Amino acid sequence: MLDIAFAKAVLPKSGVVVVPLTEDAELAGLAAGLDKALDGRLAQALKAADFTGKKGQSVNLPGPGAGLKRVLVLGLGKKDALNPRSAEEFGGSAQLALVKEESAVILADTLDAALAAHIGLGARLRAYTFDKYRTTQKEDEKPKLSALKIILKDAGLATADYAKLAAVADGVELTRNLVTEPANVLYPEEFAIRTEALKKLGLKVEIFDKKALEKLGFGSMLSVSQGSAREARLVVMQWFGASGPSPNGKKGRKLKEPIAFIGKGVTFDTGGISIKPAAGMEDMKWDMAGAGTVTGLMAALAGRGAKVDAVGLIGLVENMPSGTATRPGDVVKSYSGQTIEILNTDAEGRLVLADVLYYAQERFAPKYMVDLATLTGAIIVSLGQEHAGLFSNDDGLSEKLLAAGKATGENLWRMPLVPVGESYDKNLNSPIADVQNIGSGKGAGSITAAQFLQRFVNGKPWAHLDIAGVAWTSKDGPTTPKGATAFGVRLLDRLVADNFEG
């Protein structure tokens, strides 16, 4: 993990120095002092390179003198466009440019403390690696940067701001680790065991095994796992940030109108009897990204001491074909009492969420519910990897989610959702049960999936985020390396921070 620290504005006398410059800005503050110490060579280098400060521009001065190893100037873009998101992107760019250095200093004395803190967050997020199973990696292939110091006028304020951001980064990294793990390591029972580590943050964690789920009547969720040797688990994580502490294992105050976050946790999805094609099936280890995001989010909220009552519920199953697996055409009874005709066993995530959504509202009476799931390939056809699909029965909640997505760069696009019994929803009517798990017509797969979920919501203000296209990336981003993105952790943390904390 990259160590981020903040210190008072004193010009470094050794090592590697990073100078951030906005468009058409002159060297000022410590950067001007640095140029003077280098006898004007910094300004000369910028002029020779036609450096204007545009985002993405850089000038590198190795061995410039004054005892320094290297000076790196990076463009910040337009000054009036500076915001936390652009600061994070700058931090990510700096980390990438410094990856072969052991440590570096960023001169941020011309920026305010909040932006400096977000530079640190961006660098931390971009520095993420998952090398757990690599045994032959050469030393020169490994990132070396282990410490980044950001110097500015109000280091104390930046340190305080960053402490909360670091808790969110911890949640992001937890989610990325969970989503990246292979399915032979992270199966439902193991995933549930790992959530118990969150108790040390003050979360109350409950784990329900197969026997408990059978007693509750989770027939829809259990139908998904019945073909697997790995038994299902339900994990409930409670954070008493507004109503007061309730230590795990002890009686305490109940959550009061919490915000409920629900995650699909299919730790591996073969499709079951409706088996998937072999090509690309290895990607289905991250069909539990919704559950991974909820787990990371709950860690982030607890880690930064969010003043909100929140509950995270994750349904964990493995979908495998076998002699005991659910067959297409089977009918199961859900926790809600509704019967479901299962026409396609690869439309399994909605069967998990149906039970967990209904249980969440019945037990906790949440003010709002938000679920996350890598639910449909259809959403990738619609939105690619640029946006997650947003389906909601509440305009106010949708607006809050869209704003949080824009602020964090985890963008959403609202998709159609109609009342139960209308247009898209009618395609889910079964001739022998209350509902069927896929639509009877072709097309609109992500919409009919959301319509199915809505039948288990009972009008409670709710949003469904289909993150199938954004949970994993095949290309590097400003603050996200290739692989698991942890999409939704920062988005939902921002939703809470901006709207639901007292």
List residues with catalytic annotation. 276, 350
User: How far is residue 16's CA from residue 20's CA, in Å, rounded to a whole number?
Assistant: 13
User: How far is residue 310's CA from residue 204's CA, in Å, rounded to a whole number?
Assistant: 11
User: How far is residue 210's CA from residue 233's CA, in Å, rounded to a whole number?
Assistant: 6
Computed from CA positions of residues 429, 430, 435, 436, in that sequence, does the dihedral angle turn out positive or negative?
A: negative
Dihedral pair phi/psi, residue 150, rounded to 5°: -115, 120
Pairing of strands 435-436, 15-22: unpaired
User: How far is residue 142's CA from residue 99's CA, in Å, rounded to a whole number?
Assistant: 9
Pairing of strands 3-8, 147-152: parallel
Q: By the 8 A CB rule, do 117 and 161 touch?
A: yes
Q: How many CB atoms lie within 10 A of CB 493?
A: 25
User: How far is residue 486's CA from residue 179's CA, in Å, rounded to a whole number?
Assistant: 8
Q: How many CB atoms lie within 10 A of CB 278?
A: 8
Cβ neighbours of residue 198 under 8 Å, at least 6 residues apart?
A: 205, 237, 295, 298, 299, 302
Tokens 């995270």 belong to 312
Question: If you ran DSSP here, which 8-state letter would residue 21 be given?
Answer: E
Full 3-state SS string of 77-126: ECHHHCCHHHHHHHHHHHHHHCCCCCEEEEECCCCCHHHHHHHHHHHHHH
Angstrom distances, CA of residue 243 to CA of 258, 307, 494, 499, 502: 10, 9, 20, 17, 11
Cβ neighbours of residue 422 under 8 Å, at least 6 residues apart?
A: none
Single out the residue of 178, 410, 147 nearest to residue 299, CA to CA.
178
Which tokens go with 70? Answer: 């290297």
